[in-house]
Structure 1
């Protein structure tokens, strides 16, 4: 009985200390002395479609080829069905995608991290991505296999955003006073943000070893702490109506909410037309999303978007 009480009190103390640490780090203020560019705003919106329409065809083609997105999917040994569904659906539209698994898996190709904590899987994936692909890709998208991503919408959102600047965005939430991008909806880093993050990971700083804190603090919160220490701030991605583009729920869950909150305006009350991610999906739901987003068409209706994002060479992109 005494040992159980002791363990409980220890857990409470560790949790309290961890929360206090995150709260303190949430107040980090970075001065001019460190010469780091910091975004002052916390809401990012997509470009106006009219700006694209006035471009010449040559400008559009050059622009569409300038976005190179590397996708990282974190999986565990229990995610095999989800992995199979993701492999057959949306990652075909990434310029390159790789799975990082907690252990070697014979059923599919992945990079084995041999770590049970998502934080260390995340660190390994980012380090691998930077070391191997820093000269090939300029945007890095990280997600769980329960997420469905519309990469073309992500690339449209990236219009006018310079990857040499420290972008870190998705859907923002809070842990104490710390604002961070939740991994449940997917996380996007520019190459500059990744470069700064790797500097923290590989240096003699606090983010090189956070093993004790991984018990109590979510990995996406730890990521925000490390990024904030080098001047990279979390930003919420929205459309021109202020609707979230990165979502932590399924479309079905949003529709149910809209039926209750906006019974006369369900579709408009649900989600953005340019949504980038939906999450908390089952393997079957991932396939349904693929059908609805990429395959279902109304005969006789032709969609003429001003900008076309071409699939990577050799891709079986739908």
Structure 2
């Protein structure tokens, strides 16, 4: 009997240890998850920085629905939209490297209109798009010469420069919102971060943004086209060489993810990112196949890649033309203003008929007056019948005359 009790106690002890280990693991895992969530929430401080920056602009901000936006944007007084204000104070130069004519036209006719300046670079002239032609011997030589051209010709009003290929769709408004609180004279290197051979760089497929401070540093280091050529000789590596050269100057990619950990600069097609299923797709030339986390796309997305020219027009229409009517909209569901009231209409009618002031006309006189103006249903129907018969008879006569002739 004592041996049985001892064994039971031993089993209970072992079970207790197992349960304790499981509970401890769950508790630690829960704490780790909580700390990860908290780190995600405090990872992105751009929203707080923007609010602080905007509060210093001496503006009062209030929400406007879609029906008010047109009036606000066209107003010549003190009202302006937030996006219009950012356009005027945060200058974005968009640099596009052309590969296909159709893509270049699509860019020109859609999102490029929202840049402060648009510069197209290509290997040959285009009749329908103004292109600065360069003759590079490597992709880094291409990018480096474009950066030098940008500095030499646009440094006076240069704040931020966005570099993309012609298959990238850009939302410049979201870029301005993100960089407004940053000093463009300081070195800022923005994009979607990648790593190759231990070098941190921003992946070219997502596009990248350089502040004026970065471009100034680059043009000082590469003072000629020959110096650009000597520093990188391979094609399809310009993004890596950019990160490498900036890293040597102590300039590294900034973390541009939002507070949910999703990329503002997206190297992939949104069809992949928004899909509920995981996709394995080729990334850049410097990395292996990459798995995309479904649903992780930022509400403040700035760029996304891999779209055909017709999609440019679709996205542009959805972003800038479609108006979504949310619950609670008060405009559009009110009666239109009436210049003349119904009461004034009958009073003017009475005066026009020679009865003087409306107060002097009796109800019987008013009724008889309208009887003279408006035919009874019987009289009106008789008129319509006679008119119709006259039309048909005239058609018959015309037909007979035409046959006889």
| TM-score strictly above 0.5 | yes
Write out per-residue CA displacement over residues 204-240 of structure 1, whole angstroms, 9 at most, x where no aligned residue: 99755135x315x711001111112222112231212
Q: Which residue matches 2:46?
A: 46
Q: Kindly state the Cα deviation for residue 92 of structure 1 after the two structures are TM-superposed.
A: 0.4
CA contact (8 A) 1:197 1:230 kept: no
2:246 match: 227
- Structure with the greater relative contact order (CA < 8 A, sep ≥ 6): 1 or 2? 1
Q: What is the aligned counterpart of 2:136 among 115, 134, 139?
A: 115
Matches of 1:63 and 1:287, distance apart in 2: 24
> Within 2, Cα distance between the matches of 1:107 and 1:63?
30
Q: TM-score, normalised by structure 2?
A: 0.56
Partners of 2:200 and 2:253 within 8 A in 1: yes
For 1:175-224, what per-residue CA distance to the aligned partner results, in whole angstroms no more than 9, with x for missing partners? 1100100111011001010000111111799755135x315x71100111
Corresponding position: 1:280 with 2:306: yes
Contact 2:187 2:213 in 1 (8 A): yes
Give the corresponding residue for 1:8.
none
Secondary structure in 2 aligned to 1:242?
coil
Query: How much is the aligned-residue C-alpha RMSD, in angstroms?
Result: 2.9
Q: Distance in 2 between matches of 1:274 and 1:117?
A: 34
Is 1:297 matched up with 2:317? no
Task: State the Cα distance separating 1:44 from its structure 2 match.
Answer: 6.2
SS in structure 2 of the partner of residue 236 of structure 1: coil
Partner Cα distance (2:316, 2:214) in 1: 30
Whose helix fraction is larger, Structure 1's or Structure 2's?
Answer: 2
Q: Which runs of 5+ in 1 are unaligned?
A: 1-42, 262-266, 304-318
Contact 2:192-2:256 within 8 A present in 1 as well: yes
3-state SS of the aligned residue for 1:286?
helix
- In terms of mean alpha carbon deviation, does 246-255 or 116-125 score higher? 116-125
**Distance apart, 1:63 and its partner CA:** 6.1
Distance in 2 between residues matched to 1:188 and 1:280, nearest whole Å? 19
Partners of 2:244 and 2:202 in 1: CA distance: 11
Structure 1 position 82 matched with structure 2 position 103: yes
Gaps of 5+ in 2: 1-42, 62-81, 280-292, 330-405
Pick aligned residue for 2:59 from 40, 47, 57: 57
Change (3 A) 1:260 1:146: same
The C-alpha deviation readout for 1:226-275, integer Å capped at 9, x for no partner, is 1122221122312122211000111111122x3449xxxxx993411110
Aligned twin of 1:71? 94
Q: 1:53 to 1:107 in 2, by over 3 A?
A: closer
Cα distance, 1:95 vs structure 2: 0.3
Aligned equivalents of 2:45 and 2:87: distance in 1?
A: 18
Structure 1 residue aligned with 2:207: 186
**Rg bigger for which structure?**
2
Listed as ranges, the matches of 1:1-318 within 5 Å are: 45-48=45-48, 50-51=51-52, 54=55, 56-57=58-59, 65-76=88-99, 79-115=100-136, 117-202=138-223, 207=228, 209-211=230-232, 213-215=233-235, 218-256=237-275, 258-260=276-278, 269-299=295-325
* Partner SS, residue 299 of structure 2: coil
Q: TM-score, normalised by structure 1?
A: 0.71
Work out the CA distance in 1 between the residues paired with 2:86 and 2:320.
22
The whole-number CA distance in structure 2 between the counterparts of 1:53 and 1:181 is 28
